[in-house]
Amino acid sequence: MIGNMLRERDVQYTAIKDEITNTWRILDTWNDELKNLGPEDEIEDSNSAVTILTEGAFLSLVREAARLGVLDNVSFSGGDEYGSSEEIQEMQDKIVKYEKDIAKLQVSSNESESFKLKEKALEAMLKLAAMSDVALLSED
């Protein structure tokens, strides 16, 4: 059952914003009503594990939390699976750098292949020239 897996999570609550209705749905993943939840089951808004906040109620909650100083002590390390915006920017910068490095490697490898081909062509011409010299010497 997926409900038992939800109960084992480190983070009890998860939230998602519905952009269409401008509401926030907060799910209590440790709620007993989710124990028998299967992978295909949907959680209805009427479920006691779901709390719905309007955009205004959510903003009011955040303002009050900020006024009380609660937000200063909040740790997002457990609930933020994507990292901070600074971390994301750093990763994007690294990706761009790596893409440029790969492009440079491809160019240099193309140049070295071209050099190798030219080198082989010169060797083949030298062998042909030497063979014709040998053939001329053998005629004498």
Q: For residue 72, what are its two tokens? A: 């200063």
Pairing of strands 23-28, 50-54: antiparallel
Which residue reads 């709620």 in tokens? Answer: 31
The one-character DSSP state at 128 is H
Flag whether pLDDT at 140 surpasses 70. no
Q: Which of 14-23, 31-40, 52-61, 97-106 has the lowest mean pLDDT?
A: 97-106
pLDDT for 9 beyond 60: yes
Task: Pull the structure tokens for residue 3.
Answer: 């409900």
Span 105-117, mean pLDDT? 66
Q: What is the DSSP letter of 10?
A: S
d(CA 15, CA 41): 18
For residue 37, with 0-12 CB atoms within 10 Å meaning exposed, 13-18 middle and 19 or more buried, which class applies? buried
What average pLDDT does this structure show over 33-40?
78
Q: By mean pLDDT, which of 20-29, 42-51, 78-87 is the weakest?
A: 78-87
Q: Which DSSP letter does residue 24 get?
A: E
User: pTM of the full predicted structure?
Assistant: 0.47
Q: Among candidates 62, 57, 54, which has minimal Cα distance to 23?
A: 54
Segment 52-80 shows an average pLDDT of 78
- pLDDT beyond 50 at 91: yes
What pLDDT sits at residue 107? 60
Categorize the per-residue pLDDT at 79 as very low, low, confident or very high, splitting at 50, 70 and 90: very low
Q: Where are the domains of the chain?
A: 1-81, 83-140
Distance (Å) of CA 128 to CA 117, 124, 138: 16, 6, 15
The token pair at 100 is 């440029």
CA 45 – CA 39 distance, rounded (Å) = 17
